[in-house]
Chains A and B, each alone.
Chain A
Amino acid sequence: MTTPSNWEKVRAIFHRALDRPLDQRAAFVHEQAGDDSGVRKEVESLLAAHVEADRFLEKSSASLETPRLKRGARLGAFEIVGLIGTGGMGEVNRARDTRLDRTVAIKILSPDLVSDPRGRERFEREARVISKLAHPNICTLHDVGSATTDGGEVPFLVMELLDGETLATRLARGPLPVQQALKYAAEIAGALAGAHAQGIVHRDLKPANIMLTKSGAKLLDFGLARLRAPSSASGSPQVEGAVDESLTRDGLLIGTLPYMAPEQVRGHDADARTDLFAFGTILYEMLTGARAFAGDSQADLIAAILGHEPPPVTTRQPLTPPALERLVASCLAKDPADRWQSAHDVGLTLKAISDGSAEGTTVAGSRWRVHAVWATLVVALGLGLWSFRSDQGGAAPPPNPTPVIVLMDSPLPGRVYDSRTLAAGGTNADDVSDALRELRVLTHKENTSAIWHREEQVRQQNPDLVVSHLSCLLDIRPSNGDRAIEDHLFEVAQNRLLGFLAYLAASNPRTQFLIYSRGRVWPTPEVQAAWTRDVVARFPRLEGRLFTIVVPGHANATFRDPATAELLRTRVKEILRLP
């Protein structure tokens, strides 16, 4: 409970936590509140309420300004017939276009969207782009306009009027038959492919934005999430930047949490692959009737999106063709680089699955052949995994009595790195394997194996220890020595790595993890210990299984140095309890 005495502290920590991505707030609050558990709990509770509150009071305030259109009211050539419903973006009315004598849907938007010239220009520009989308599975935007009211200019969209129910309404009654789910999924993928080809990303794809009509699935609100994003500033340009940033970072306001991709949760830019993640969650839900990612609290949900794999589709819907299950899993890859890269390909594959030839080689086109190869590979790896699991379950001895050390880092010469990576660059995989040559070492190099492939290998090998460089999943790009950018990149890398480790920890219950890094990240033993504590607080599965080691010496020190190599050997033996 808040008391006036600790309120200022609560307020200060809350403010600063808001500037951090969702997945980093817990650790930040923990660090800031220190021993004051009262303050920590209060801030955590308020942050949770903040996430849940979503548009609470904002929406009311905005809709106080939104006119209620009554039957017979005129908006230019459009005559309001009645209210259809209220959505996230505003009210939707049935209306008659008196010029063309047809019935349309009119969505009234918040006046905030056009409250300043910049907003208006943006609104019109975005609307023009959206109106160019002509696809049988996308709800057509006919026109945009605005009406003058007491609240100022009120913008509205004129759209195709659709008859049917939303997928959300349909899903409330349970899963869809596989064939029907396949049909809708192919239509949705086709719609996404059409929009992506024009550079338009949906960003808020969810069952409530999909109408099921007699003529098939229709996507609603294409591109509107982006249009909405900067609008809430509703103020002068100088605030807009700040609010923009927080909206993007907050993520929640762009997109809907259960269907949001990890990169959106982290506040990064959305692209076509972000839509494919949402598509995967929707297909999962259509097939199983259950959400791919769920949690008792927003924090659990975020953790699930970032670090957990949903149970395979077949465990919930045994009739799912294996190829379809793999397609869903691939859409749900945490890293966009590991997902299907194009909706077009997804659509083709769905069609093939639907035709019953998913496993076959009859489909023409080189692109498909590539996919068939991948599919085979997935099957092979899947078998490996299955056998590993049965080993685990039975009384048989573990398949790898010898400890296997898996390395997942290797900055190589000839590529461009930022200075932080360069500093770490000396500690490459080969040096580590040399240092540990008495043990059986399996080396993975970041730039030569796809992440999911490596994951499968790790799971197959069932190692005792995973040794990893803290920035090993860093998406490498030059930063011109800009410290802020470097820090940001490092944080991105760190989060990707930790999510990955948590995932491995869940799938390999006995594997332990050794993270090595430079003194700059852990300048003191206290910071090093605090880091471990924070990570374990976020990923409880790592409890007792996460170890760290600081690479001593100057910025370019490597494990090639005998003393450093010895340090690593000692630490590894300690962890593995080897003589």
Chain B
Amino acid sequence: MNRAASPPDVTGLLVAWSNGEEAARGRLIDAVYSELRRLARAHLRRERLDHSLSPTALVHEAYLKLVDQRKVHWENRVHFFAIAAHIMRRILVDHARAHQAAKRGAAARVPLGDVDVAAEPRDVDLLALDGALDRLSHVDERQSQLVELRFFGGLTIAETATVLSVSPATVKNDWALARAWLYRELRGRAE
């Protein structure tokens, strides 16, 4: 396995960022992004089933690989998952934008570096969703972040509750609310 000469100290960057070092954020994103690509490539090489990759699995695996869990607090977890989910959103949305000409609703293959990740465009227009999420963030930033974590990061209710530091019941209700808001928004614009 060809690993980068010196793996980035993601744990250190996370700690630095949560201590207020804004510069750490950019380097963190770079590190997580390249790890996600690397993982995707490695996965395809050793898979037994002929299937596509799960972005969610990637995010989790990237976390396990990059972050020394003995050294991070839950705040660091929040930041990591928020960033990873945000990156997955960017990767998927950028691809959708690049292939805007492609018929909406057709199955799409999203290149992540030089491998494919299965996207799920069947009933969600990712570009429209991206725009709606931006609008939602103006109403309630937390709702928008929740959708990133759940939809793009693939976190469960329980995990999302942990990273957002609220009760699972609140996440469940907010998730319902955000989905309703986005659904209405997207339906309204489609009509």
A: which residues have CB within 8 A of B? Answer: 2-4, 7, 11, 14-15, 18, 45-47, 49-50, 52-53, 56-61, 63-65, 67-70, 72-75, 86, 115, 147-152, 233-236, 238-239, 242-243, 246
Contacts and interface: CB of A to CB of B under 8 A. Distances in A.
B156 interface: yes
Interface string B16-43: 0000000000000000000000000001
Contacts of B118: 64, 67-68
B104 interface: no
Nearest 5 pairs of A and B residues by beta carbon: A235-B158, A67-B51, A50-B180, A53-B183, A49-B184
Given A56-B124, A60-B123, 14 more contacts: A18-B176, A45-B184, A46-B177, A49-B180, A49-B187, A56-B179, A58-B179, A61-B120, A64-B120, A65-B56, A150-B43, A151-B54, A239-B168, A243-B157
B157 A239 contact: yes
Contacts, number: 140
B28 to A, nearest CB: 23
Interface string B138-174: 1110000001001100101111010000001110111
B169 A53 contact: no
B55 A236 contact: no
B57 interface: yes
B49 A14 contact: no
A209 to B, nearest CB: 20
A60 B151 contact: yes
A50 B172 CA distance: 13
B57 A150 contact: yes
Given A4-B138, A49-B183, A56-B183, A150 B53 contact: yes
Contacts of A3: 139
A148 B180 CA distance: 34
B182 interface: yes
Interface in B68-122: 118-120, 122
A440 to B, nearest CB: 52
B151 A65 contact: no
B50 interface: yes
B87 to A, nearest CB: 15
A29 to B, nearest CB: 13
B54 A238 contact: no
9 contacts: A3-B139, A18-B173, A46-B180, A52-B183, A69-B49, A233-B156, A236-B156, A236-B158, A242-B168
A57 B176 CA distance: 10
Contacts of B50: 69-70, 72-73
Contact of B150 (A2, A15, A50, A61): A61
A243 B139 CA distance: 26
Contacts of B124: 56-57, 60
Contacts of A75: 49
Contacts of A53: 179-180, 183
Contacts of B51: 67-70, 73, 149
Nearest to A71: B50
B56 A64 contact: yes
B126 to A, nearest CB: 9
Contact of B179 (A11, A57, A115, A246): A57
Contacts of B119: 64
Interface of B: 43, 47-57, 118-120, 122-124, 138-140, 147, 150-151, 154, 156-159, 161, 168-170, 172-174, 176-177, 179-184, 187
A463 B147 CA distance: 55
Contacts of A67: 49, 51-52, 54, 118
A49 B182 CA distance: 9
A57 B151 contact: yes
A46 B154 CA distance: 24
Contact of B57 (A52, A56, A60, A151): A151
Given A45-B184, A65-B56, A50 B176 contact: yes
Nearest to B188: A49
A63 B157 CA distance: 16
Contacts of B181: 2, 46, 49
B180 A60 contact: no
A369 to B, nearest CB: 52
B157 A233 contact: yes
A465 B122 CA distance: 55
B179 A235 contact: no
A19 B51 CA distance: 39
A113 to B, nearest CB: 13
Contacts of A74: 49
Among B47, B122, B139, which residue has the most Cβ atoms of chain A within 10 A? B139
A234 B181 CA distance: 23
A15 B54 contact: no
Nearest to A234: B156
Contacts of B52: 67-68
B138 to A, nearest CB: 7
A75 B51 CA distance: 12
A239 B158 contact: yes
B139 A2 contact: yes
Contacts of A69: 49-51
B142 to A, nearest CB: 10
A394 to B, nearest CB: 47
A20 to B, nearest CB: 12
Nearest to A72: B50
A74 B118 CA distance: 19
A47 B180 contact: yes
B168 A238 contact: yes
Contact of A242 (B156, B169, B180): B169
A151 B117 CA distance: 13
Contacts of B158: 235-236, 238-239
Nearest to B129: A57
A75 B47 CA distance: 13
A2 B188 CA distance: 14
Contact of B177 (A11, A148, A243): A11
B37 to A, nearest CB: 15
B139 A7 contact: yes
Nearest to B136: A2
Among B140, B147, B151, B177, which residue has the most Cβ atoms of chain A within 10 A? B177
Contacts of B147: 57
B172 A242 contact: yes
